[in-house]
DNA sequence: AGTCCGCTTGTCAGCGACTGACGTAATCCC
DNA sequence: GGGATTACGTCAGTCGCTGACAAGCGGACT
């Protein structure tokens, strides 16, 4: 695997995050990001398919981790409890990326184009969750529905966890799942 | 109100739908759509903010109808049953637009950029549903959660209703809500 | 009737996102 | 050490989208 190019990629991500934060997503051009990273606009688009995706790199890793976490949950029949434990198992990864996720969330919330992309990422996360649940023997439709609800609860918990440095993920996650269960009645 | 311009707008929508269907979203340019509609590319972008939005016009109307339907549901404490009845009340509107929704759904499903936009529209539908529930006196967080689940069930029912001309919406809706309730346990 | 006004559209110039083709320097592998 | 990847730069071009200005058109007012 090419060890080179990885450094450029990281520099592009950091430059993009910093510039987006300071000047807003719309006013920053891809050429400017590339210039700060010391490369050309063309190589920016070689590393990322478009100007938005530079903020969503690592989503593939997250999906893979979630799939593995779901597969590794010890036997629990209820799909939602499986998801709850799987999400909790991803805590270390989330904490590692924490310094990036907060400014990232701010720009995304302030930029409709980025919010759209994020919704697409969330949907793909739902799909992998559904597949991972199905692989555990849960019927297709039920897996899809549980994934939808579970990911929604996960997002709700993250939404409160992200801007709050002192908060612990576990109680927020439990609270979100409980509220979701109550909302159905 | 300008009665003129409305005809151009409709022609643009129909031309876009037809061209997208036949040649795919990506290969069709805004100028081509405009040419078929008998106008210039510039006026296309005067009627629609971007190339995607031409397929999602009328979403504002749908949101308004949903808000009104939720407000008009006779007293029912459980937010999910309110939503169920509200969705059912929108049946006539959905059936009116039916000839357009099926080809539309096909292109959207085949085009990631359009799928992203649709997810954003669904999110805005969730938000209006949450607001309408809150206006009924339902606590904020509970309203948001119920809206999330309810809209998900609605989308599930629509997904089966759209490609099936003979299907009735009501049983599909009930089925979706029931499955969702069961998925929580 | 004539004029003024608001609205819609056409035209033009221009920026930024993105892509394909081609050349080049560094790196890897034998 | 030479050939093959690999990552990048350069160039040219298309398309999405926007601002500015002018032109036509109907409706209102006198």
Q: pLDDT tens across B84-127, in order?
A: 999 999 999 999 999 899 999 999 999 999 999 999 999 999 99
Cβ atoms of residues B50 and B116 within 8 Å: no
**Cα–Cα distance, B132 to B89 (Å, whole number):** 15
Task: Give the tens place of pLDDT for each residue, B130-182.
Answer: 999 999 999 999 999 999 999 999 999 999 999 988 889 999 999 999 998 88
A residues 22-51 closer than 8 Å to B (CB): none
pLDDT at residue A77, rounded to an integer: 76
**Cα–Cα distance, B135 to B119 (Å, whole number):** 24
Do the chains contact at B115 and A117, CB–CB below 8 Å? Answer: no
pLDDT at residue A91, rounded to an integer: 93
**Cα–Cα distance, B69 to B86 (Å, whole number):** 5
**Contact residues on chain A for B80, CB-CB shorter than 8 A:** 183-184
Asked if the model's pLDDT at residue A185 lies above 80, the reply is no
Q: Does residue A45 reach within 7 angstroms of strand C, measured from its CB?
A: yes
**Cα–Cα distance, B153 to A28 (Å, whole number):** 39
- Residue A2's pLDDT band, with cuts at 50, 70 and 90, is very low
- Residue A116's pLDDT band, with cuts at 50, 70 and 90, is very high
Instruction: State whether residue A5 is helix, strand or coil.
Output: coil
Tokens describing residue B177: 């809500």
Calculate the CA dihedral of residues A161, A167, A169, A170 and round it to 10 degrees: -140
Q: Which residue of B has its CA nearest to A118?
A: B116
Question: Count H helices, E strands: chain B?
Answer: 10, 0
CB proximity B184 to A under 8 Å: yes
**Contact residues on chain B for A79, CB-CB shorter than 8 A:** 183
- Residue B20's pLDDT band, with cuts at 50, 70 and 90, is very high
Tokens describing residue A171: 């109680």
**Cα–Cα distance, B136 to B73 (Å, whole number):** 10
- Residue A153's pLDDT band, with cuts at 50, 70 and 90, is very high
């Amino acid at each position: 695997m090419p060890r080179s190019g990885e450094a450029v990629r990281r520099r592009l991500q950091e430059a993009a995050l910093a510039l987006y934060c300071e000047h807003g997503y719309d006013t920053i051009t891809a050429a400017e990001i590339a210039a700060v990273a010391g490369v050309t606009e063309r190589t920016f688009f070689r590393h990322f398919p478009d100007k938005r995706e530079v903020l969503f790199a690592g989503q593939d890793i997250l999906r893979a981790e979630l799939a593995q976490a779901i597969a590794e949950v010890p036997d629990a029949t209820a799909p939602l409890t499986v998801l709850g434990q799987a999400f909790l198992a991803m805590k270390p990864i989330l904490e590692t990326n924490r310094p990036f996720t907060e400014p990232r969330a701010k720009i995304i919330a302030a930029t409709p184009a980025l919010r759209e992309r994020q919704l697409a990422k969330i949907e793909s996360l739902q799909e992998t969750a559904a597949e991972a649940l199905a692989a555990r023997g849960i019927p297709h439709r039920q897996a899809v529905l549980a994934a939808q609800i579970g990911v929604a609860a996960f997002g709700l918990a993250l939404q409160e966890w992200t801007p709050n440095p002192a908060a612990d993920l576990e109680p927020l996650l439990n609270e979100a799942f409980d509220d979701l269960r109550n909302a159905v009645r």
